Amino acid sequence: LEATTFNKPQLQEQLSVLEQRQEAQIALAGRSNVGKSSLVNALARRKQLAKISATPGKTRSINFYRVAPDGFSLVDLPGYGYAKCSQEERKSWAKLIEYYLTNTPTLKALALLLDCRIPPQALDRDLADFARGHGIPLLPVLTKADKCTQVERSKRQQEWSRLLNGIMPLPVSSKDMRGVDALWSELRRFAGT
């Protein structure tokens, strides 16, 4: 990883602080526009979330949020698959994510955010496969559930469950807040708090 595309020392420092504290981390990832920032805000409406740091890059950054009462961190990974991204930017995204996912011993799960209106995409499946290959538990989440009919939602759940060996994604909406409490329960369960 070149320092020009992403500030690696800062990320390394952040990861080593959390590792020393043995603090559990759960990463959030998804295609750009999947609703990740909205979901972080929705989660924060139900619980105290403190943004502790960001590792700036030219176009992307990793944000760490400490869940104050439970003592674990949510790690907001940069969105992927943005149509206007150059090949080089895609590569630097992949390197950054792979670096994070393979250098975080206290990582307890990867929450994979999936738009409930969009059928499974290659980039999402690649990330799921990468996580599985590295023994990282997956927590699939269907975002924007308010925009889907019941039929569409269960279709997506079935499709993903087939691809993820029976793991059923959790529907959430940052707009009407459905599923947000259930998501907090899952996050706590994975974090072990």
Q: Which residues bind ligand GDP (CB under 6 A)?
A: 30, 32-38, 79, 143-144, 146-147, 173-175
What CA–CA distances, in Å, run from 47 to 29, 69, 72, 159, 173?
20, 8, 13, 31, 16
Q: State in angstroms the smallest separation of the CB of 165 from ligand GDP.
A: 26
Specify the residue, 90 or 147, whose C-beta has the smaller distance to ligand GDP: 147
Which two structure tokens, joined as six digits, stand for 5? 């595309």
Specify the residue, 71 or 119, whose C-beta has the smaller distance to ligand GDP: 119
Q: State in angstroms the smallest separation of the CB of 35 from ligand GDP.
A: 3
Q: State in angstroms the smallest separation of the CB of 71 from ligand GDP.
A: 25
Question: In the structure, how many helices (H) and strands (E) does the chain have?
Answer: 6, 7
Q: State in angstroms the smallest separation of the CB of 41 from ligand GDP.
A: 8
Specify the residue, 73 or 174, whose C-beta has the smaller distance to ligand GDP: 174
Specify the residue, 35 or 169, whose C-beta has the smaller distance to ligand GDP: 35
Instruction: Assign 3-class secondary structure to 25-67.
Output: EEEEEEECCCCHHHHHHHHHHHCCEEEEEEEEECCCEEEEEEE
